[in-house]
Structure 1
Amino acid sequence: MKPIEVQGLHKSFKSKGKSIKALDDVSFTVEVGQSVGFIGQNGAGKSTSIKILFGALRADAGQALLMGCAAEDPRSRRGVGYVPENPYLYEQLTPREVVSSGLRLHGIKGPENHRRTEHWLERLDIAYAADKRIRNLSKGMTQRTALAHAFAIEPQLLVLDEPMSGLDPIGRRQVADLMQEYRQGGGTLFFCTHILHDVERLADRFVMIHKGRLRAQQSIADMLASQNTLVVRYYGATGLPGFAEDARMIWKGACERSQVPAVLATIAAAGGTLLNAHPQNSLEELFDSIASEAV
């Protein structure tokens, strides 16, 4: 069984009497234990695909299977943690009640329910607000509550749609670390994000959708390892030959992989400080090239 199987999805919406195609023959799968980043511009079709997976929308054609069951079958959501892009939580409840009731829906009661509730409220740094009403919390705190609920059930499959939305820098780092921990523990992760660096760090594979059509899918490791040219950025008073000033006292240049040790040694000898080095054709460059194409 594959946790996610999407085959030939088509979906259109009516707008001012015209049919707007949101998904056009979209197909992809997520294997057990994989971490897959689902990327694309706003309006590309990411959230529409996820809504179809969870039975919130019906596809015009094609098939979506979640945990081996048809998406509209409630049994497909057993053991699945899900946080939508804009989670809606009952405003009169508290974070403690949201997490605890979510666990009960998954059959987890008694001392184990209490243990997991308190553990995940602490892990997401919302224990201090655990008894405040959701309506009195900020967007970031509401997002943390939704994430605590998803992680607490210890899901076989975790689906996150823009999980960093509304979080401050510390919160984003915490959530990224939790996603990495879940991934390394053997969990299956499928997530949407606009932060492409997170995809390179957290995903085994990416699926790119643009204007409703699948445009690319590949192993992150294969994409990065296939690039022989690296872009090096460093902070220093002077630039190396062939390096251009990227910002004040920050220099940027390209070199072959075999030249990297010598370049880094030269930067250090000149008193420079390495900022980063990455393949020239990173996920960001691929994303930009596809997004800028005229379709």
Structure 2
Amino acid sequence: MKAIDVEGLTKVFRARAGDVKALNGVSFSVEFGDSVGFIGQNGAGKSTTIKILFGALTADAGEARLMGLPSDQARARKGVGYVPENPYLYDQLTPREVVQSGLRLHGFRGEEVIKRSAEWLERLGIAYAADKRIRNLSKGMTQRTALAHAFALRPKLLVLDEPMSGLDPVGRKEVADLMQEYRQQGGTLFFCTHILHDVERLADRFIMIDRGKLEAQQSVAELLAAQELMVVRYLGEQALPGFENDGGSLWRAAVAREDLPKALADIQRVQGVTLDVLPQASLEGLFESVVKVKAS
């Protein structure tokens, strides 16, 4: 059994201007314990895939299974944490009521409901607003409520569609840290994001979709480790041979892996401060190349 199993998924939206094939034979799977980033441009088919997985849409062809069960069965979603791209919460409820009702729907009762809701409202930074109406909360606070609802389940599978949407920089870091913690504790994470750095940090592998078709699947570590050139940046008053100015007192160069120890030693010798050492070809570069080829 797999956490997510999608085979030949196809979805066509009918419109006066012409049919739009949102998904065209998409197939992939997510094993238990995996952390997978699902990436693509706006309109690529990410949210459509997730909506089919959670029974909000019906596929025209293909099969989607969640936790080993057909995704159109409600019991497939029991114990699965999910936050959609634009969470809709009943605006007359409070964050406490949202989280507690979610826990009860998934079979939790009594003191466990009270304990878990309090814990996750606190961890998501909304305990102070736990008894305010959703209608009176900002978009960021509503997003935190939806995330608290999902994390409180301590799910075997956590599916997040643009989880950082509406969050300020502090909130983004807090949620990324929670996702990392969940992943390190053995949870299964499947998330959509436009922020490719989050995929590089939080995912074991990525699945790239573009215009309804699967374009790439690969381990993030393998992608980054395969790069022969590393981009080195440092802060200093003196320019080293081969480095070009990157603004002010910043210097930048592409350095071969075998030359990296010498480059770092040279930076230290001129009393520079190494800022970062990154593979020259990142996930962002791969994404741009795929999109560029499709557009040409």
Q: TM-score range by the shorter chain?
A: over 0.9
Per-residue deviation, 1:159: 0.1
Superposition CA RMSD, Å? 1.0
Q: Which amino acid aligns with 2:58?
A: R
Separation in structure 1 between the aligned mates of residue 294 and residue 151 of structure 2, nearest angstrom: 40
Deviation string 1:52-99 (CA, Å, 9 cap, x unpaired) is 111111111111101111111111101100000000000000000000
Q: Counterpart of 2:14 in 1: which secondary structure? A: strand
Deviation string 1:205-262 (CA, Å, 9 cap, x unpaired) is 1000011111100011111111121111122223322222222222211111121111
Deviation string 1:24-45 (CA, Å, 9 cap, x unpaired) is 1111100010000000111111
Q: Which amino acid aligns with 2:3?
A: P
Match of 1:194 in 2: 194
Match of 2:230 in 1: 230
Per-residue deviation, 1:264: 1.0
Q: Which amino acid aligns with 2:109?
A: K
Q: Which amino acid aligns with 2:189?
A: L
- Matched length: 295
Per-residue deviation, 1:111: 0.8
Per-residue deviation, 1:273: 1.6
Separation in structure 2 between the aligned mates of residue 294 and residue 39 of structure 1, nearest angstrom: 16
TM-score (norm 2): 0.97
Separation in structure 2 between the aligned mates of residue 142 and residue 288 of structure 1, nearest angstrom: 32
Per-residue deviation, 1:10: 1.0
Match of 2:286 in 1: 286
Separation in structure 2 between the aligned mates of residue 239 and residue 137 of structure 1, nearest angstrom: 51
Q: Which amino acid aligns with 2:206?
A: F
Higher deviation after alignment, 143-152 or 13-22: 13-22
Q: Counterpart of 1:260 in 2: which secondary structure? A: helix
Match of 1:124 in 2: 124
Match of 2:141 in 1: 141
Match of 2:216 in 1: 216
Aligned pairs for 1:153-172 within 5 A: 153-172=153-172
Separation in structure 2 between the aligned mates of residue 27 and residue 146 of structure 1, nearest angstrom: 28
Deviation string 1:141-192 (CA, Å, 9 cap, x unpaired) is 0000000000001111000000000001111011001001100111000000
Separation in structure 2 between the aligned mates of residue 294 and residue 152 of structure 1, nearest angstrom: 41
Deviation string 1:106-144 (CA, Å, 9 cap, x unpaired) is 111111111101000110010000000000000000000
Match of 2:258 in 1: 258
Per-residue deviation, 1:17: 3.7
Which stretches of structure 1, 4 residues or more, deviate above 6 A after TM superposition?
none
Higher deviation after alignment, 103-112 or 263-272: 263-272
Match of 1:97 in 2: 97
Per-residue deviation, 1:276: 1.1
Match of 1:66 in 2: 66
TM-score (norm 1): 0.98
Separation in structure 2 between the aligned mates of residue 180 and residue 174 of structure 1, nearest angstrom: 10
Unaligned runs of 5+ in 1: none
Q: Counterpart of 2:22 in 1: which secondary structure? A: strand
Separation in structure 1 between the aligned mates of residue 249 and residue 60 of structure 2, nearest angstrom: 55
1:245–1:15 CA distance, 2 compared to 1 (3 A): farther
